[in-house]
C-alpha cells in the first residue's frame, strides 16, 4: 500500500499520479511492492540478486515505469536491473529514485542498469534523482548504466538531479554500433556541501554511428562537481560533447572532456564552459518586477531546462 509520502515522492521523480500506465515496477525501501507486466513487456524478479529483468518483445511500443523510493533512514539499497529492448521496438522507460531521509543514518541507493537496445529499436530513457527529509542523515545515489545500442538503433537518455542529494557518483558507459544514434542530456544542481561526479564514456564502435553528450549544471554554496565525459571513435563516427556550468558562491567545478579518434574519417568536437550569472541578466529581470533572488532562480531554471 502506497502512503501519501510515497505518492509525493513518485510525483517528484516520475510525474506519477495514481497507478502508472503500461508496465511498471515500484521498489520501496529495498523491496518490490507493486508490479505489472503487459502484452509485449514482461517484468520478472531477478534470480540470485535484487532487481528485475525487463523483456520487451520485438516491435512492441509502450511505456515502462521503474521508480525507486527510500523513506527510512539507515538503508543501503543495491539493485541490478537488466533491460532488453527487442528489435524495432519503441519504448519510453521512466526510472529515477527519490530519498526521504527522516533520521540521522545514511540512506543510500546504488542502482546498476544493463540495457540492450537491439537492431532498429528506439529507447527514450528518463531518470530523475531527488532528495528531501528533515533528518541530518545523508542522501546518497550512485547510478551505473551500461548501454548497448545496436546497428540502426537509437537511445536518448535524460539524466536529471535537482536538489536534495548529498553525494552522487554517476557512471555511464555506452557502446554504439554501426548506424546507431545516441543522445545524452544531463542536468544537475548542487548546493550546500553536496558533491557530484559524472563519468560518461561513449564508444562509437561502428561506422556512421553518432553521439551527442550535453551537460548543464549549477553549483551553489560550497558544493563540488566533477564531469569527465569521454568520447572514442573507432570507425567513421561523429560525436559532440558540450559541458556548460554556472558557478556561484564558493562552489568548485571541474570539467575534463576527452575526445579520442582512431579513424581518420571520425568527426569529434568538444566544448566546455564555466562561468557566473551575468549581472545584466539579473538587472534586466529586476526591471520587470522580480527580486534579485527571483531573477537568479528564473535564470537557473531556464538554464537547466
Interhelix angle 292-304/279-286, rounded to 10 degrees, is: 120
Q: Report the pLDDT value the prediction gives residue 280, as an integer from 0 to 100.
A: 86
What tens digit of pLDDT does each residue of 174-209 get?
999 999 999 999 999 999 999 999 999 999 999 999
Q: Could you tell me the end-to-end alpha-carbon distance of the chain, in angstroms, rounded to an integer?
A: 34
Pairing relation of β-strands 41-45 and 51-56? antiparallel
Cβ count near 86 (within 10 Å): 20
Q: Would you say residue 1 has pLDDT above 80?
A: no
Average pLDDT over residues 78-107: 96
Share of the chain above pLDDT 70, in %: 100
H or E stretch covering 126: strand 122-132
Average pLDDT over residues 91-106: 95
Average pLDDT over residues 20-49: 95
Q: Report the pLDDT value the prediction gives residue 17, as an integer from 0 to 100.
A: 85
Which whole-number Å values give the CA distances from 288 to 191, 255, 296, in the listed order?
27, 34, 13
What tens digit of pLDDT does each residue of 237-287 get?
999 999 999 999 999 999 999 999 999 999 999 999 999 998 888 888 888
Cα 28 off chain centre by: 19
Q: For residue 209, give the nearest of 146, 150, 272 by alpha carbon.
A: 150
Measured distance CA(130)–CA(13) in Å, rounded: 7
Q: Report the pLDDT value the prediction gives residue 281, as an integer from 0 to 100.
A: 86
Average pLDDT over residues 43-53: 95
> Grid coordinates representing 150?
545496436
Measured distance CA(43)–CA(33) in Å, rounded: 13
Q: How confident is the model at residue 144 (pLDDT cuts 50, 70, 90)?
A: very high
The predicted model scores a pTM of: 0.94
Q: Give backbone dihedrals phi and psi of 304, rounded to 5 degrees, phi first.
A: -90, 0
Cβ count near 291 (within 10 Å): 10
What tens digit of pLDDT does each residue of 115-125 get?
999 999 999 99
Average pLDDT over residues 20-25: 93
Contact present, 235 and 264 (Cβ < 8 Å): no
Q: Report the pLDDT value the prediction gives residue 289, as an integer from 0 to 100.
A: 87
Q: Report the pLDDT value the prediction gives residue 19, as an integer from 0 to 100.
A: 82
What tens digit of pLDDT does each residue of 212-245 get?
999 999 999 999 999 999 999 999 999 999 999 9
Q: Report the pLDDT value the prediction gives residue 287, as an integer from 0 to 100.
A: 85
Please return the burial class of 186, using the count of CB atoms within 10 Å of its CB with bins 0-12, 13-18 and 19+: buried
> Grid coordinates representing 75?
538503508
- Residue 302 neighbours by CB under 8 Å, 6+ apart: none
Q: Report the pLDDT value the prediction gives residue 283, as an integer from 0 to 100.
A: 83
- Residue 47 neighbours by CB under 8 Å, 6+ apart: none
Q: Would you say residue 288 has pLDDT above 90?
A: no
Work out the mean pLDDT of the chain and round it to a whole number: 95
Amino acid at each position: 500500500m502506497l502512503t501519501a509520502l510515497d505518492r509525493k515522492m513518485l510525483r517528484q521523480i516520475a510525474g506519477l499520479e495514481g497507478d502508472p500506465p503500461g508496465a511498471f515496477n515500484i521498489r520501496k525501501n529495498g523491496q518490490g511492492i507493486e508490479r505489472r507486466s503487459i502484452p509485449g513487456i514482461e517484468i520478472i524478479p531477478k534470480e540470485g540478486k535484487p532487481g528485475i529483468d525487463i523483456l520487451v518483445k520485438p516491435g512492441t511500443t509502450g511505456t515502462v515505469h521503474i521508480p525507486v523510493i527510500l523513506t527510512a533512514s539507515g538503508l543501503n539499497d543495491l539493485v541490478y536491473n537488466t533491460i532488453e529492448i527487442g528489435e524495432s521496438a519503441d519504448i519510453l522507460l521512466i526510472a529515477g529514485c527519490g530519498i526521504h531521509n527522516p533520521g540521522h543514518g545514511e540512506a543510500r541507493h546504488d542502482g546498476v542498469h544493463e540495457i540492450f537496445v537491439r537492431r532498429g529499436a528506439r529507447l527514450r530513457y528518463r531518470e530523475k534523482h531527488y532528495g528531501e527529509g528533515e533528518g541530518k542523515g545523508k542522501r546518497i545515489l550512485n547510478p551505473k548504466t551500461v548501454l548497448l545500442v545496436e546497428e540502426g538503433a537509437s537511445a536518448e537518455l535524460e539524466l536529471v538531479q535537482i536538489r536534495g542529494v548529498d553525494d552522487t557518483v554517476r557512471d555511464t558507459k555506452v557502446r554504439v554500433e554501426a548506424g546507431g544514434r545516441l543522445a545524452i542530456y544531463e542536468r544537475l544542481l548542487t548546493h550546500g556541501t553536496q558533491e557530484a561526479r559524472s563519468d560518461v564514456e561513449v564508444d562509437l564502435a561502428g561506422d556512421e554511428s553518432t553521439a551527442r553528450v550535453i551537460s548543464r549544471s549549477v553549483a551553489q554554496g560550497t558544493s563540488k562537481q566533477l564531469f569527465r565525459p569521454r568520447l572514442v571513435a573507432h570507425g567513421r563516427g561523429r560525436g559532440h560533447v558540450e559541458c556548460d556550468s554556472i558557478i556561484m558562491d564558493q562552489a568548485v567545478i571541474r570539467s575534463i572532456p576527452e575526445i579520442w579518434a582512431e579513424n581518420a574519417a571520425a568527426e569529434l568536437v568538444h566544448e566546455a564552459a564555466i562561468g557566473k550569472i551575468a549581472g545584466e541578466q539579473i538587472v534586466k529581470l529586476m526591471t520587470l518586477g522580480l527580486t534579485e533572488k527571483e531573477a537568479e532562480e528564473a535564470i537557473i531554471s531556464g538554464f537547466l531546462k
